[in-house]
Amino acid sequence: MSARPPHVLIIVQNLPVPLDRRVWLECQALVNAGYQVSVICPKGPGDPAYAELDGVHLYKYAPPRQADGLLGYAWEFVYCWLRTARLTLKVRRRARFDVMQACNPPDTYWALALLWKLGGVKFVFDHHDLNPEVFRSRFGEPTSLPGKAQLAVLKWLERRTFRTADRVISTNTSYQDIAVNRGGVPREHTTVVRSGPDTSVMRPAVVDDGPRRGGKHLVAYLGIMGPQDGVDGVLLAADRIVNLMDRKDFRFVLLGFGDCLEDLRRQSTDLGLDDYVEFTGRVGPEQITRYLSAASIGLSPDPRSPLNDVSTMNKTMEYMAYALPVVAYRLTETVVSGGDCAVYIEPGDSDGLADAVVALADDPERRAELGTAGRRRAEQVLDWRPQALAYIGVYDDLLGFASRGPFPQGWPATDRRSGPADGNLQDQWGNPLVDLRDDKALRAFAAARRMTTPQAN
C-alpha cells in the first residue's frame, strides 16, 4: 500500500445515502478510521448529483421508475447497473479506489467488481438481504418452469457474488451460515456486523403531545412497507382495537414508505381508521425521535417466511433504543435481537397482536420494565460501537492498513448529550432528554412517555 489512505467505494441501490442508516454508519466509521470514502447510490428527492457530506463523497443518479413485472425489474437492474458503472469511472477520475463494497439487493454488482478486480481492486460484499428467500417469501416455492427459472437465476447471482467477494460482511449469524454453507465462503472470510443502532444518538426525549393526535396511547410502526413486511397486520390489529374493542384512546402511526404504501392507505380508509392512523411517508432522524419518544408501544409485525425468520429487523432494535416496549411476532432473529425485552406473539395472529398491545398499554409497570430493559440491552448488546470495530477490522485486515480505528477520540459513551451550560439535557432539536444514567428517570419515562422532566447533571 502507498502512503495515501486507502479509498473505499460503496455501492447501494435500494436506498439513497445517508438515508440508509447502516451504510451511513459504515461510512462514518471508515472516515473516522482514516479511510477515504465514496458512495454511489440513487438520488432521493432534491438530492444533487454530487455532494461531499462529513468527508464522504456522494455520487448519485436519478432512480428508475417503479418496476412492474419481470421485465420491469430486469430493466431496473440493468439501468441501475449501467448508471453505477458509469459513476465508478467518475469516482476513479477523482481518486483511485482500493476496495469496492456492494450492498445488496440486488446481487448483480459482482460483475462490475470483476472488471475492477483486473486493476487490483478488492471486493467486499455487505450482505443485507437474501434474494432467493425474498422470491420464495413473495411467491412461494415455484412450480412452473418460469418461476423455477427465476429462482435459479437468483441463486446463481448469489453464488457469483459470494465467489467474487474477497470478504463477506453478514448482518447476523444466520446470514453468515448461508454465506459459508450455501455460498462456499471460508468462514474466516466472513464477519458478522449487525445493524445495531447508535444509542448515543437514537435515545428517548421528552416531546410534545402532537404525535398522539388527541389519543392516550400511540402505537408505532417504523420501516419499509413491502409485501413481505406484514404492515397490513398492523391495520387489522388497529381495526380490532378501535372498532371491535371500542378503544378510541389509541392512535397509530406508520413511519416509512414502500411498494404497499398506497394499498395500506386504501385499507385504512376501508376499515374506517383514517381518524386513528397516520401515514408519515419517508422520515428522517428528527421525526423518528419525535414519534418513537411519544409512542407507548412499537410493533414488529413481520410474518414468518423463509426471509423474515432469519433476518434481523432494524426497527425492533430501534424501538429498544428509544426505551419503547415492543410487541413482535416470534421469529428466530427477532428473538435474538429482542431477548427478554419484548412481548412475542405467534406469527400471523393479528388478533393476538391487538390483544397484546391493549394489555401492555393498560399495564404501565410492564411497559416500564420492558422499555428500561430494552434500552439497556440496546446499549450493552446491540449498539453500533462494537459493530463498528468489527467492520473496520475487515478493511484493516484485507488491506493491511494500520487504521486509527472508528473511535480515534476514544470509546464514545452511550449517554452522549448536548445542552446549555446550566445542565439541562437537550437533543439537537431542543427536546429535553431523559438522563439515561438515572434508572428511576428512565423507568418513569418508559411507563408514561410524557411525564418525565429533564434531569440535572
> Half-sphere exposure of residue 28, counting CA atoms within 13 Å on the CB side?
15
What residue type is assigned to position 194 of the chain? R
Please tell me whether residues 171 and 46 are part of one structural domain: yes
User: Which CATH number does the domain housing residue 312 bear?
Assistant: 3.40.50.2000
Residue 420 has pLDDT above 50, yes or no: no
Last residue of a domain, one of 380, 407, 432: 380
Nearest to 338, CA basis, from 300, 290, 387? 300
The pLDDT value given to residue 455 = 44
Any domain includes 147: yes
Please tell me whether residues 390 and 356 are part of one structural domain: no
Domain enclosing residue 252, as ranges: 210-380
Any domain includes 408: no
The pLDDT value given to residue 341 = 94
Cell of 126: 455487505
Please tell me whether residues 340 and 255 are part of one structural domain: yes
Q: Quick check: helix, strand or coil at residue 145?
A: helix
Please tell me whether residues 318 and 252 are part of one structural domain: yes
- What is the Cα–Cα distance from 337 to 326, expressed in whole angstroms? 11
The pLDDT value given to residue 457 = 38
Q: Quick check: helix, strand or coil at residue 143?
A: coil
The pLDDT value given to residue 199 = 92
The pLDDT value given to residue 426 = 85
Any domain includes 1: no
Q: What angle do CA 88, 1, 27 make, to 5 degrees?
A: 50
Number of domains in the chain: 2
Any domain includes 425: no
Nearest to 107, CA basis, from 174, 181, 183, 172? 183
pLDDT tens for residues 165-204?
A: 999 999 999 999 999 999 999 999 999 999 999 998 899 9
Please tell me whether residues 113 and 167 are part of one structural domain: yes
Cβ–Cβ < 8 Å for 292, 260: no
Q: Phi/psi zone of residue 134: left (φ > 0), alpha (ψ -120 to 50 degrees), beta?
A: alpha
Please tell me whether residues 131 and 214 are part of one structural domain: no
Distance of CA 291 to the CA centre of its chain: 17
Any domain includes 217: yes
Q: Give the predicted TM-score (pTM) of the model.
A: 0.84
Please tell me whether residues 395 and 319 are part of one structural domain: no
pLDDT tens for residues 102-157?
A: 999 999 999 999 999 999 999 999 999 999 998 998 888 999 998 999 999 999 99
The pLDDT value given to residue 200 = 87
Any domain includes 427: no
Strand order from edge to edge, sheet including 277-281: 277-281, 250-255, 217-222, 297-300, 326-329, 342-345
Any domain includes 77: yes
Any domain includes 409: no
Output the average pLDDT for the chain.
Answer: 92
Cell of 432: 429535553
